[in-house]
Structure 1
Amino acid sequence: MLASMLAGALFFPGIFLLSTRLLKNKMGWSRADADVVSARAVSSLQAVMASAAGCYIAAACCGDVVHDRHWLTDAYVAFGAPYFVYDVYAMFLCDRHKRQVKGHQEGPRVAAAGFARRETLMVLHHVFVVAFCLPASLVWRRGKGDFFQGLLFLPELSTPFVCLAKILVQLKRTDTLAFKVNGVAALLVFFGCRVALFPSMYFIYSRYAQVPLQQAVLGAPWLCNVGACVLWPLQIYWFSLMCGHARRAFTGSRALPS
């Protein structure tokens, strides 16, 4: 597992640095534009990899959803965990560049404190994934539930759509058909892979255990309930924000957040 974790710690920042250098040196982009687009490209790459791994694991372990095992489960958990540490720094860079464009010249400490204050939920989400979900997946679940762990990779599938929307906002292409089509796709994928995911997993578990849904919820391992109680409300909150953004885009409101 340490080898997989080290590989992830080198892979994601390495792809970011390589992409930034190529955009700056070969394309002539500014440092800010190169950093922002590279960060979103790495996020999309990680999302595709995680979603593909999740689909493969879930398909391989669908016979016995509690006891079936697949080697890729723990391997990708360890490989993907460093991404969430890197991503906090990448989000900080993007936030700092955005504020510098608006004329805010702040030192690193002030900028970091301001970023943590503005993006508290997102930062706490990433901290929770590393501090709780990582040991829960590798140690505390004791080799059970690879099927459900595979499903938990699927929320990343919405990330490429969200990243593309942000890139189109950055390029001032919010009035295009591509932006609106991508927005609809983002809403559908986000709802299916994030909002509906947790109730679906409880439903699958209730079918497996042959118990009513409410009994499955109450009888599920405490790790599952803690994770669901923390992560599911965040997905609902972010989905409500996306719906508001989509409404403003389709109604032509000029107040379209990035």
Structure 2
Amino acid sequence: MQQRRQQASGACQEERQPQDESKEHSVKTTPQSPSRRGCYFSLAFSIGSMGLACGSLWQIPNSSDRISLQRGLVLTSLGFIYFVSLTDFCNKYLLETSHGQRFRRKYRLMMSDVLEITNKIVSAIQASFSFLVGLIVCKSTCTKSFVYASHFLMEAYGWFGTAYFMYDIWSMYKVHTQKLADKLHLLRITKGQGSPLSNGHANGKVNGQSSGGNNNGSTPGTPHEICDYDGACVQIPKDGRWDFLKYVITHPVMMIHHVFIGTFGLLVVTYIRGGGHCIYSYMFMMEFSTPFVSLRSILSTMRLKDSRVYIANGLLMLATFFVCRVCMWPYVMWRYSLAIEAASMWAAMCGLPRGCLVSIAILFLPQLYWFYLMVLGALKVFLPQKRRPPNAMLPATSAATPIPTALKNGKN
């Protein structure tokens, strides 16, 4: 009887344990449900804004019609909603969902790493849209007139895409300030422990958890510096604060590129000019290399620089950047010289207005600078410098040093 009672009580306990575990599991998963709803709520906002933008263009009958000022402002507003909500979705997915938390633990990502990955994902998506629009407009207009043909899709995405460049300046600033906060936090933790810092992250374990990262593979000169998204080492202020104006001043190339593209390049050119969209479509197709640039940064943040995927993506990045950004403008100018029947490409360029030449220089010269940095990075990967050990020269030095005569004779 006692054995039966013990077996019955054991069975009851076994039945209660799954119930208790299910209750505990329900208690644990209940707090995550609001975050998941907020995550997908942001995704719904992003998809809805893109749907409204596409729906507003569905009523345009002719491809050569213009985009009105009212419709353009609506598209810009929808662009802000789309990119901000898409960023919010990516951040919440990586920070609050179970899949995102497992991803962070696997690759030991800090908060600044998550923000940087999100920034690059949104950048790659915008670049894909830009390339697709440029390809459609190029096929539609270049067969009609290289100089004068127009397409409403070019102007429409000019209004929609300008929101991205304004948003991206603020997004990069938030990544920068979060890197400062993470680096200062690690400095406080590792102070007095003698743990070296590398690339803005602590090596080894901090509070029992591994932390790592690379910030695009650059190494700070001192422990009180961080490596920014473009590889430049920036001094950490003593109070840990970095205002927006100082960030803009210390990143002039990127700011000029974003402000020029976001205002003059995508608004003034498309709305006031009202033609030449075949030429501008090539400018949009320059973004074909951006997804590879973004993927390189993401793989670097995940510390996968030694993987085959990183090397293959780097080669594709160099090839697409060289073709789409370095060779694109000479090709467009050559096509333009043929269209106007100029004596040479140089003669065609000399006939352009001074403002147009300045605009071409603002767009083209940063591409050469960034391609130069990419080539230097590729050389470091494929041609690493061999480091000699500190005592490698000791045998040669000792052999070259003459031995005193007294030591040869055994005298002190």
With normalisation by structure 2, the TM-score equals 0.58
The answer to whether 1:182 aligns with 2:313 is yes
Return closer, same or farther for 1:249/1:129 CA change in 2, 3 Å cut-off.
Answer: same
Q: How far does residue 253 in structure 1 lie from its aligned partner after superposition?
A: 5.3
Tell me which of 45, 62, 66 is aligned to 2:147.
Answer: 66
Q: How far does residue 114 in structure 1 lie from its aligned partner after superposition?
A: 4.6
User: Which moved further from structure 2: 224-233 or 68-77?
Assistant: 224-233
The answer to whether 1:55 aligns with 2:135 is yes
Matching residue of 2:123: 43
C-alpha offsets along residues 27-55 of structure 1, whole Å, 9 cap, x if unaligned?
A: 12454333221111100000000001101
Matching residue of 2:268: 136
Contact kept? 1:51, 1:157, Cα under 8 Å: yes
Identity %: 28
Matching residue of 2:95: 24
Matching residue of 1:219: 351
Q: How far does residue 132 in structure 1 lie from its aligned partner after superposition?
A: 2.3
Matching residue of 2:80: 9
Question: What amino acid sits opposite 1:127 in the alignment?
Answer: V
Contact kept? 2:162, 2:267, Cα under 8 Å: no
Return closer, same or farther for 1:243/1:237 CA change in 2, 3 Å cut-off.
Answer: same
Aligned residues: 253
**TM-align CA RMSD:** 2.0
Q: How far does residue 226 in structure 1 lie from its aligned partner after superposition?
A: 2.1
After the TM superposition, which segments of 4 or more aligned residues of structure 1 sit over 6 Å from their partners?
Answer: 105-108
- The CA distance in 2 between the partners of 1:100 and 1:178, in whole Å, is 31
Which structure's CA Rg is the greater one? 2
Return closer, same or farther for 1:160/1:65 CA change in 2, 3 Å cut-off.
Answer: same
Question: What amino acid sits opposite 1:4 in the alignment?
Answer: L
Q: How far does residue 221 in structure 1 lie from its aligned partner after superposition?
A: 4.5
Return closer, same or farther for 1:222/1:146 CA change in 2, 3 Å cut-off.
Answer: farther
SS at match of 1:192: helix
The answer to whether 1:157 aligns with 2:288 is yes
- The CA distance in 1 between the partners of 2:385 and 2:305, in whole Å, is 11
Return closer, same or farther for 1:39/1:214 CA change in 2, 3 Å cut-off.
Answer: same
Contact kept? 2:162, 2:263, Cα under 8 Å: no
User: Which moved further from structure 2: 9-18 or 89-98?
Assistant: 89-98
Return closer, same or farther for 1:148/1:106 CA change in 2, 3 Å cut-off.
Answer: farther
Return closer, same or farther for 1:108/1:10 CA change in 2, 3 Å cut-off.
Answer: farther
Q: How far does residue 224 in structure 1 lie from its aligned partner after superposition?
A: 3.2
Q: How far does residue 107 in structure 1 lie from its aligned partner after superposition?
A: 6.4
SS at match of 2:147: coil
User: Which moved further from structure 2: 244-253 or 36-45?
Assistant: 244-253
- The CA distance in 2 between the partners of 1:90 and 1:7, in whole Å, is 18
C-alpha offsets along residues 4-42 of structure 1, whole Å, 9 cap, x if unaligned?
A: 111111111110011111111111245433322111110
- The CA distance in 2 between the partners of 1:3 and 1:94, in whole Å, is 28
- The CA distance in 2 between the partners of 1:221 and 1:231, in whole Å, is 16
Q: How far does residue 223 in structure 1 lie from its aligned partner after superposition?
A: 4.5
SS at match of 1:77: helix
Tell me which of 328, 339, 359 is aligned to 1:197.
Answer: 328
Tell me which of 170, 174, 179 is aligned to 2:301.
Answer: 170
User: Which moved further from structure 2: 143-152 or 108-117?
Assistant: 108-117
- The CA distance in 1 between the partners of 2:172 and 2:302, in whole Å, is 18
Contact kept? 2:180, 2:240, Cα under 8 Å: no
Contact kept? 1:92, 1:115, Cα under 8 Å: yes
Question: What amino acid sits opposite 1:22 in the alignment?
Answer: Y
Question: What amino acid sits opposite 1:237 in the alignment?
Answer: Y
Contact kept? 1:47, 1:157, Cα under 8 Å: yes
- The CA distance in 2 between the partners of 1:5 and 1:106, in whole Å, is 39
Matching residue of 1:229: 361
- The CA distance in 2 between the partners of 1:108 and 1:162, in whole Å, is 29
Contact kept? 2:158, 2:267, Cα under 8 Å: no
C-alpha offsets along residues 111-157 of structure 1, whole Å, 9 cap, x if unaligned?
A: 4345324422101211122332234323442x120101111111211
